[in-house]
Chain A
Amino acid sequence: MVSTLIKIENLYHIYNQYKKNQIVALDNINLEIKKGEFVSIIGSNGSGKSTLARHLNCLLLPTSGNVWVDGINTKDKDKVWEIRQKVGMVFQNPDNQIIATTVEDDVAFGLENIGISRTMMQERVNWALQVVEMEEYKKCEPHLLSGGQKQRVAIAGVIAMHSAFLVLDEPTAMLDPRGRKEVVDIVKKLNREENITVIYITHLMEEAVESDKIVVLDKGKIALMGRPEEVFSKAETLKNLSLDVPQITELAIRLNKKGLDVSPYTLKVEEMVDQLCLFV
């Protein structure tokens, strides 16, 4: 049996409640995330993506409704640190989340705060840096790293805590294509090999293609939810939500309409090439 590890029930979040500038950021969200899943959350700016993410580790609490992590309600004040240890977050700007003067110190920062032994700490830091493929930069000063490398160090800091969940809030928004690929590859590897549950927020559709489930947010509501091929085949709906469909999917949908034997659920270039090879 697959256990549900995060459960969100009738979640509302209202900023500035009862004031003139009241904003309903989350409007009745119901969502379950299972162990080992890779869930992408997409939506335009202001759709509530980050607000939702911040509910997963008690950075924000529901205005009404409930969020459970591993059976613990996030409203339980005594369990805040337990939840934060389970759910690690990586944010958008790599320069805002690195604090130590060397890479290994930065990865160890979280561990220092939970008071584990030095040998154990060294073991975990080495392991985490190995997983994100940054072990050769162990003694390096973080400011000399590229954006993609800094984000990988931030990810190492989370997994060194043995967090079961990794929440990434637009981790590639400030990176170039090469840095983007580095980060995405590492996140996929963590999900596959280390069985870490990933919640990945982005507005780049290409990055959401390989997830198990995509949640599309619009004005605080879940507008679409399902497997990538289900979500992307609704090109018109996505465009109306001012989101982009990958070029290759748009091409597949058009060719399919013209009567060609091409699946409208084509998400990757290779899949398209394989199909086209049969009759071009």
Chain B
Amino acid sequence: MFIRLENVYYTYNLHMPFETKALKNINLDIKKGEFIGLIGHTGCGKTTLIQHFNGLLTPTSGKVYVEEMDISKKGIDLKLIRQKVGLVFQYPENQIFEETIFQEIAFGPKKLGLPKDEIEKRVREALKMVDLDYNLYAERSPFTLSGGEMRRVALASILSIRPKMLILDEPTANLDPQGRNKILSEIKAIHDNFGITVVLVSHNMEKVAEMVDRLLVMNKGEIIMDGPPREIFAKRANDLLKVGLGLPQVTQCMYELKIRGKDLYTGVLNVNEAEKEILNNIKKLNSQLKKYERL
């Protein structure tokens, strides 16, 4: 088990007039190598939850374990935890401050006290992971980049620490479709090629559904659904709509056909699967008709 949360509660402004219960009794196991999507409305506790994964917040009550180490205890080496669990905040490009892209990405490894040649190796590796050419980009100022590129540099500056787990808070917010698809395919490749555990926080149900193995749905400080997206869409489409989170368009189409009495499988994740499901059902219908005619 890579991360385990046991009965975690978190309350902002405890015992104050503006007390808000942000997390209520969270129990969660994250295995090494999983690719998880975390979805929920603004204010549902997503960001509060992920800040528990690397000790930025400690639970009001309950336990958080990272690789079996209880990080809610006092005296824990949080620096070590943060090397293992890399957190990429919303709009990470706002945190860029160095003069060149090389220096920006080298900042983490430098703080780890690594030798010079190792630092360079890490920077090269990290730039490669986000598909930016070292020779073209290393000496450029990060502030001359486009929004999408800046975000990838910010991602590289976390990857250069070689975290075992990567948490991304809305990595595609404010990017155009091209920038969005680019960064998502890089995240997918980072997961697939390097075995890094990924938690992707997003509003974009369509993209998340296609990418992740496991979907966590939060509502009002609780995890209300946990499972493969296909299973959730097949069994709990109704509940998702009830909390107002919506379904991918093609999934919703299947769901509404089902409501109208059509016997369709609603666990479709993309256009391909929806097309197959519809064509299959037409074939089924046709063969039934033929049987009927023969009788």
Q: Does A248 contact B (CB under 8 A)?
A: yes
Size range of the interface on B? 35 or more
In the complex, B135 has a CB within 8 A of chain A = no
- What is the size, in residues, of chain A's interface with B at 8 Å between Cβ atoms? 33
Contact A146 B42 (CB under 8 A): yes
List chain B residues, Cβ under 8 A from A110. Answer: none
The 5 A-B residue pairs with the shortest CB-CB distance in the complex, in nearest-first order: A242-B178, A247-B249, A45-B176, A248-B249, A176-B42
A-chain residues with CB within 8 Å of residue B275 when the two chains form the complex? 251, 254-255, 258
Specify the chain B residue showing the minimal Cβ separation from A250: B271
In contact, B257 and A269 (Cβ under 8 angstroms) = no
* 28 pairs, CB–CB < 8 Å, chain A vs chain B: A44-B176, A45-B179, A146-B43, A174-B174, A176-B41, A176-B42, A177-B41, A178-B244, A203-B176, A242-B176, A242-B178, A246-B249, A247-B249, A247-B250, A247-B271, A251-B250, A251-B253, A251-B278, A254-B275, A272-B253, A276-B257, A276-B262, A276-B278, A277-B257, A277-B262, A279-B285, A280-B257, A280-B278
**A46 CA to B176 CA in the complex, in Å?**
10
A248 to B106, CA, bound (A): 44
Nearest neighbor of B277 in chain A, beta-carbon distance: A280
B139 located at the interface, meaning its Cβ lies under 8 Å from any Cβ of chain A in the complex = no
Mask, B148-176, CB within 8 Å of A = 1, is 10000000000000000000000001111
Give me 11 other A-B pairs in contact (C-beta within 8 A), A177-B244, A178-B42, A258-B275 excluded: A44-B176, A46-B146, A176-B42, A178-B41, A250-B271, A251-B249, A251-B275, A255-B279, A276-B262, A280-B257, A280-B281
- Residues of A contacting B174 in the complex (Cβ-Cβ under 8 angstroms): 92, 173-174
Q: Tell me the complex Cα distance, A174–B175, Å.
A: 10
Instruction: Kindly state whether residue B260 has any CB partner on chain A within 8 Å.
Output: yes
Determine whether the beta carbon of A269 is less than 8 Å from that of B285: no
How far apart are the CA atoms of A10 and B257 in the complex, in Å? Answer: 48
Distance in Å: Cβ of B265 to nearest Cβ of chain A: 12
Residues of the B chain whose Cβ atoms lie less than 8 Å from the Cβ of A179: 42
Are A177 and B176 touching (Cβ within 8 A)? no
Q: Does B186 contact A (CB under 8 A)?
A: no
Alpha-carbon distance A246/B206, docked complex (angstroms): 10
Contact mask A247-276 → B, CB, 8 Å, 1/0?
Answer: 110110011001010000000011011001
Chain A residues within 8 Å of B246, by CB = 177
Give every chain B residue within 8 A of A279 (Cβ-Cβ): 282, 285
A21 to B111, CA, bound (A): 37
Does B203 count as interface, using CB distance less than 8 angstroms? yes
Q: Contacts A45-B146, A277-B260 known; A254 to B271 CB distance under 8 Å?
A: yes
- The digit string for B260-284, where 1 denotes a CB below 8 A from any CB of A, is 1010100000110011001101100
B248, CB-defined interface residue at 8 Å? yes
- In the complex, what residues of B have CB within 8 A of residue A250's CB? 271
Q: Which residues of A contact B279 (CB under 8 A)?
A: 255, 258
Interface residues of A in 180-221 (CB under 8 A from B): 203
Complex CA distance for A205 and B40, rounded to whole angstroms: 22
CB-CB contacts below 8 Å: B78-123 with A: none
A280 and B264 in contact, given A173-B174, A177-B246 (Cβ under 8 angstroms): yes
In the complex, the answer to whether A247 meets B146 with C-beta atoms within 8 Å is: no
Contact of B285 among A92, A248, A280 (CB under 8 A): A280
Give which listed residue, B41, B148, B256, contacts A273 with CB less than 8 A: B256
B278 in contact with A255 (CB, 8 Å): yes
Cβ–Cβ contact A45 & B147, under 8 A:
yes
Q: Name which residue of chain B comes closest to A204, CB basis.
A: B177
CA distance A179 to B43 in the complex (A): 12
